[in-house]
Structure 1
Amino acid sequence: MKTLKLGLIGHPVKHSLSPWIHHQFMKQAGIEGEYHLYSIEPEVFEDKISKLLESGINGFNITVPYKQRIIPFLDELDPDAEKIGAVNTAVYKDGKWIGYNTDGAGYVRALKQVLPADSSTQRVLMLGAGGAARGIYRALVTEGFSYVDIANRTREKAEQLLQLQEPETVTEILTFAEAEEQIKKYDIIIHTTSVGMSPADNEQIVSLSGLKPNAVVSDIVYKPIETKLLRSAKEQEATIHHGHSMLLYQAQYAFEIWSGKQIIIGDLLDRLEQKVTEA
């Protein structure tokens, strides 16, 4: 295979761990390549993107604030990316730029590493209804999870996610207070907001009092590695699932799209944790 030219666009991107992750993947796959960071100012986005698309690059990731703004520049969208309304991965294939969303699917790949083999009938509670939640909710329902409730500060925003439902999905919309009251009925709790990141790293979005001892609690925040929510879950003997695994598995899926090669995670999760801790 020729040298892969890859990158990440966003603003800001200078602290991204994506170059490290994708260079590990290239090494494992035996592919020569490069992965560059492109920090693009919002006022010059159109001009810079047009030049990037014509630069001979094979593919790139997209992070905030451009996951929607990139869409008009692409020739085609994967059906799930179209439904979600956001793209985080673009690939040049057969003369076309095609957009994908690997965030949700990558997240569910990561989550499955800590779930029992058949977990699709377990009750899931999602906390938050923003951009990350859209991708995760879509991936959960397409993977066949039957009961996925959504708690959010505003009911209207949570209801927008119902457009992503599958016919067999049962979803109830809750306030955070209602979610707290019913916490004991959930097997899997997924936190999708930025609460728990600096400067809110001493906060958690709901109390986990009364949590099932064998529940799985997952937080997509990856810095700090162990958020206040995860510490609280651990105190109640829950299985905890860290946010940096989503970062790694969504990148794995993106790299597979670009290269056509399968990547084994192996010890990369532990090594990424070390990188996050040091950063």
Structure 2
Amino acid sequence: MTMLPLPAQKQLTTMLGHPVAENPIDRMFDAVFAHHGLNWQFWKCDIASEASLAAAIAGIRALGFAGACITVPYKVAAIPFLDEVDADVQAIGAANFMTIEAGRLIGHNNDGKGVVKAIEKVTPIAGKRVAMLGAGGAGRAMAVELAWAGASHMTLITRRQVQGEEVAATVTKASGVPAVWQPWVGEAKIPAGTQILMNATHLGCAPELESIPLDWGQITPDTTVVDVITNPRITPFLQTAQDKGLPIVDGVEMLVQLAMQIFSAWTGIAADEAVFQRAVAQALGESA
């Protein structure tokens, strides 16, 4: 009897976070892997609590994964379980992906780099005053990278004073750019003169599609409105901005920009943006 050769075991990659169900990253990466003929696969892993995080990261090492993404709420909590972190993680204090080299887990952060590329497709960052809603693991990376990209001032609007003040101090220490905390009580108040307004919270994510409690009264027509949410592409926050005629930057564009960098770090293959854009549009049901 002729024995058919069995295919090689797929090379696994993953994302650790909670929740992860609505994120299209797995379908995007799997489509890109297939496009390049790679026998790779991407798994989203919902890690329900921080108590399970150490075991999950140990599993990545033990099972020989090729790489992993880290998403909310574990971008800070994951760092002690890594073997090494790069200079960006040291400055920002959060990691959003890891490479694995000879069994060593190395943490990196390109959250902000993806955001900078996405925003600069719409408007320059240099010299702009930025206000950010939320300052979690993703928000702190974005705040630092926006400062490194030339933002002139940063306001962190959060409900937790300790978090907001700590991230503001991190931004100033890393970049020299003035950064301040502003309390978020009831409807968020946006400082006068804000030119880039970013939502770095989970408000607006599918399936809840929550509106952001925000006073739009002081937001001027030249303000660029940015959202980190990846599903849906146009959140209630961005829809309101569009209805007011404001320029917007969506979270899907940010995801594409950072995913391209992660793909190249994992595979050594130059990323083709058209392939990523097509894959994520299909994942979101935006194209056939």
Distance in 2, Cα, partners of 1:222 & 1:233: 17
Report the equivalent of 1:230: 238
In the alignment, is residue 256 of structure 1 matched against residue 264 of structure 2?
Answer: yes
In the alignment, is residue 61 of structure 1 matched against residue 69 of structure 2?
Answer: yes
Distance in 1, Cα, partners of 2:23 & 2:231: 12
Question: Among 97, 105, 129, which residue is 1:97 paired with?
Answer: 105
Structure 2: any 5+ residue segments left out of the alignment? 1-8
Q: What letter matches 2:191 in structure 1?
A: Q
User: What SS is found at the alignment partner of 1:201?
Assistant: coil
RMSD of aligned residue pairs (Cα, Å):
3.0
Report the equivalent of 1:182: 191
Report deviation, 1:105.
2.0
Report deviation, 1:179.
6.6
In the alignment, is residue 149 of structure 1 matched against residue 152 of structure 2?
Answer: no
Query: In structure 2, do the counterparts of structure 1 residues 231 and 96 end up closer, same or farther at CA, with 3 Å as the change threshold?
Result: same
User: What SS is found at the alignment partner of 1:35?
Assistant: strand
Report deviation, 1:271.
5.0
Question: Among 157, 161, 164, which residue is 2:171 paired with?
Answer: 164
Q: What letter matches 1:35 in structure 2?
A: F
Query: In structure 2, do the counterparts of structure 1 residues 93 and 248 end up closer, same or farther at CA, with 3 Å as the change threshold?
Result: same
User: What SS is found at the alignment partner of 2:215?
Assistant: coil
Give the number of equivalent residue pairs: 274
TM-score (norm: length of structure 1): 0.83
Structure 1: any 5+ residue segments left out of the alignment? none
Counterparts of residues 73-92 of structure 1 (less than 5 Å) = 73-92=81-100
Distance in 1, Cα, partners of 2:67 & 2:282: 27
Query: In structure 2, do the counterparts of structure 1 residues 194 and 41 end up closer, same or farther at CA, with 3 Å as the change threshold?
Result: closer
Distance in 2, Cα, partners of 1:205 & 1:169: 27
CA contact 1:204–1:229 (8 Å) conserved in 2: yes
Report the equivalent of 2:41: 34
CA contact 2:131–2:198 (8 Å) conserved in 1: yes
Per-residue CA shift, 1:216-242, capped at 9, x if unaligned?
101112333322222221222211111
Identity of aligned residues (%): 28
Q: What letter matches 2:233 in structure 1?
A: I
Distance in 2, Cα, partners of 1:211 & 1:270: 33
Distance in 2, Cα, partners of 1:45 & 1:231: 35
- Range moving further from structure 2, 35-44 or 107-116: 35-44
Report the equivalent of 1:209: 217
Report the equivalent of 1:6: 13
User: What SS is found at the alignment partner of 1:36?
Assistant: strand
User: What SS is found at the alignment partner of 1:209?
Assistant: helix
CA contact 1:208–1:232 (8 Å) conserved in 2: no
Question: Among 129, 132, 157, which residue is 2:135 paired with?
Answer: 129
Report deviation, 1:208.
2.1
Query: In structure 2, do the counterparts of structure 1 residues 109 and 4 end up closer, same or farther at CA, with 3 Å as the change threshold?
Result: farther
Query: In structure 2, do the counterparts of structure 1 residues 48 and 187 end up closer, same or farther at CA, with 3 Å as the change threshold?
Result: closer
Per-residue CA shift, 1:60-95, capped at 9, x if unaligned?
112344333432332100122133332221111255
CA contact 1:102–1:251 (8 Å) conserved in 2: no
